[in-house]
Chains A and B, each alone.
Chain A
Amino acid sequence: MDVATDAPHLTWADVHGPARAVVYRLLEEHDPAIARSLHDDGWRGHPLKPIGVTSPQFKGAPQKNGVYTTSPHGAIWFGSPVPEIAAALVTALARRTEIVWGNARLRVRGFSIEVAAPAPVEGLVELETATPVVVRHERRELLPGDEHYIERLAHNLTHKADVLGLPAPRSLRLLKAGPRRRFSVRGAPRIGAQVRVSMEADPRFVDAIRSWGLGLDTVQGFGWIR
């Protein structure tokens, strides 16, 4: 979804903070039952929520130290590997002319649907994220390079594969990591970094996590795959 805003910048709390609320509000508009059950119980008996979203991303925004600047060319991506959820999201988004994102009002300029065709071959794929990936181990936020990082990320992916009923990916490797980023979401910190990883996976699974994301808190706007 392409958006524009009059605000010259987003406050840091508004970058990731409102994401989850926006998603649930959208779902609720179209299908309150799905929204409630997803919020309270997760998806089909798993606590995971198969939804991905980005924070608003602005193309050509001026660089300014310490400020999340905006530009007229903003975009937010929403996704879900589950058709029912995706359909509810699309329906709700199609009717929107504006999205309230924290203190900012984002005017909807247009809307398109990306249906990534399944990758043709099974084998090594490289994925890069557009937002930081959040991974935790014993309540500690991990950064790429930390002990257990790969292990926990792989565990998370295996869990996601379980929810979708697809084979789990193998030989996950970290190729590149961005700088450390810290966001506070309603007072609680989220620490992570953008990463580029490679793995061997079923094309259907790769397809699914492209619209779901890597790591934890994808519904909060983390781990969206570019």
Chain B
Amino acid sequence: MYEHDVIVVGAGGAGLRAAIAAHEAGADVAMVSKLHPVRSHTGAAEGGINAALREGDDWELHAYDTMKGSDYLADAPAVETLTQNSPEETINLEHWGMPFSREDDGRVSQRPFGGLSFPRTTYAGAETGHHLLHVMYEQVVKRGIQVYDEWYVMDLVTTDEPDPNDRECHGVVGYDVQSGKIEGFKAHDGVILATGGPGQAFDHTTNAVSCTGDGHAMAYRAGAPLEDMEFIQFHPTSLPSTGVLISEGVRGEGGILYNNEGERFMFEHGYANNDGELASRDVVARAELTEVNEGRGVNDEYVHLDMRHLGEERIMDRLENILHLAEDFEGVDGLIEPMPVKPGQHYAMGGIEVDEHGQTCVDGLYAAGECACVSVHGGNRLGGNALPELIVFGKRAGRHAAGDDLGEPEIKTGYGDDVEDETDTELPVAPGKAGLDTTGSVAADGGVTAEADGILERSVEAAREHVDSLIEKEDGVQHAEIRAKLQRAMTDYVNVFRTGDGIRKALKIIRECRQEYQNVYVDDPSRTFNTDLQQTIETRNLIDVAETIALGALVRNEFRGAHWRQENQTRDDENWLKHTLISWDDGEPSIFYRPVILDGENKTYEPKERSY
């Protein structure tokens, strides 16, 4: 058994920042990650970091843009925390040596991004995430923070009181990918989940294959609700063949979208008469697919993104990485021809419900980064707002877990008096545990005051038995088959355009996946670097997460942000200024709602119609 004060699960942007902050607050910190830190998906972020740094801009403008971009489903205290802290945190990265792009006077450059009223996206070429990740890993090395790399965290170790608000998290169960060894990690002060997005629930995604929603699923099964999972961002510009991301920076620098008739459709077909290509992402993604559906797509599949007119010099200075991506993955030279692009799953606005300190309703359990929902993105995340979220809320989670006093949070978590109950939406199939054993959910055996070491040992034992049974099973279904079916269903039915019937079909297929998973087995008998085993466990997580996405999408019968419903093509503020929460209630998902907080420090963000 390993012991530390704070254990950070995941070593991307949020995890690294959390670990550094906890370390600075005096805690003994360890990071446990299924990848080596520099392999984390934060490295694939391209665009930049929104921060109100310059004269003419301020945090209130940034907060206003973010609330509007969210379609008024973000919580104002979280948004204001983000926008107030982002400048300091961004400059802090500069102080750590981050190679930001520069202006003639040597200051960091900023550029326009979609949905922003000021060019406040601070960037490092078109590879901002790569530099952010490496700079923070460098700081972790400098501080000598312990990293258990290529250790896959399988489970949280949590007490099992009936009410999740009474539960306590004592650590995690980890699996050493290289040796197959399974061990407990005891956390004296807290566990911070920073496991990234669940993009692999879809089959056309910009996300890495490692983005399997492990943190989401573990927290969910431990009792922390998942919030606003129906809000999935489809990035307007991903490469059709692979899903590789083409940064919004291309449009920020002046890139233009054309349909197969050479029309600049964002204007010519009236999708966004003011902002055109720089409308927020949900607007542009719908516009592109509408063009394709109406027969104006290129090869009936995608549209063109043209940056040739920007000139070689500017492209090489600010977007060089995009040239390489288009060339390597699509065989297109962006200097002489337009690039093919289409919407691809990109980001989960929802996630593990947390307050401004990163705390879930389970004592000692935190979440930060894309796996968390604090919520700053609401129905639609603005480009350039994910990276500041990592550093601002990663840091806060790290400090709080290490014992720093951050005051009383304004955002509530867990089931309580302020929530609105159950939905009456009819579900197509009984969701939840049907057909699936619950191995590896809450691990204690009923003792309300169960002692930490005992729970940890039992959890480790259960995980070992679980792995043995998967490996020893002689035949059955392989995870790859189930995963492919799940991804296909989500892409077919829970995509940019959604219908009630489609979502119901998806839920039925997800249920089938659950049943098939009961018969899953691992073909590779080896304990050494058994990726077959790891992916089998990940696939179970994907099933849980996909189900919450589809359930949320089914019950929210309005159109808000990235969530479009054919039956209800208008935003319904009267009934839906509230967050969807889904909690794993004894193996069955149950749904409740919490009102959105629109009251900020100095003002109330009154919902207005979004026009771009």
Q: Do A and B bind each other?
A: no
